[in-house]
Amino acid sequence: MINVRARHPSPLRIMIFFLCFLWLTACSNQSGVDIGQVAPEFTLKSLRGDTLSLSAFRGKVVLINFWATWCDPCKAEMPSMETLYRHYKRDDFEILAVSIDTVEENNVRDFVERFHFTFPVVLDNQFIVNQVYDARVVPTSVLIDRKGIIRERILGARNWSDADMRLLANKLILLK
């Protein structure tokens, strides 16, 4: 007869298993921001002092860009966003730059003014919209069509003056 002792996992193994389970669950938990879904509505304070809602831009193609003043890839990307913004009429295209900075509003304002960005900038210093859109990387860009449907989700910096990026914007603008 073979004597088989029941082996009970140690408390350390149970804790490691539990932590791994939590980590995997957290990493796989996506908010409702998948391509093809309606973009979640939000309202945030703008640098101009008013509030802006995503729904105010319905009927236009909207590029939402999550960024921060401390983010070097964001700094590299934003001048090309300004070029793209100036390329299209406001009836067709809008950029909404969502700052996730936790610094004072004046620091964000100084940054925007120093580089002469003219697209609207809103403040999400409590990460509410950032969390809803699951923007774990900055910059993260979300392209929304005229009907409010998410068409692209882009992680990392892009050169928005690039022909491929313009083609992407044009495709959505022409889609009525």
The two three-digit tokens of residue 95, written as one number = 């950029």
- How confident is residue 13, by pLDDT bands cut at 50, 70 and 90? low
pTM for this predicted structure: 0.81
**CB contact at 8 A, 122 and 96:** yes
- Whether the pLDDT of residue 139 is over 60: the answer is yes
3-state secondary structure of 173: helix
CA of 55: how far to CAs of 88, 114, 144, 163, in Å?
A: 19, 29, 11, 28
Please state whether beta strands 93-99 and 43-46 pair in parallel, antiparallel, or not at all (unpaired).
Answer: unpaired
The two three-digit tokens of residue 145, written as one number = 């069509």
As a whole number, the mean pLDDT across the chain is 87
Domains of the chain, start order: 32-174 (3.40.30.10)
Summarize pLDDT for 33-74 with one digit per residue, the tens: 899 999 999 999 999 999 999 999 999 999 999 999 999 999
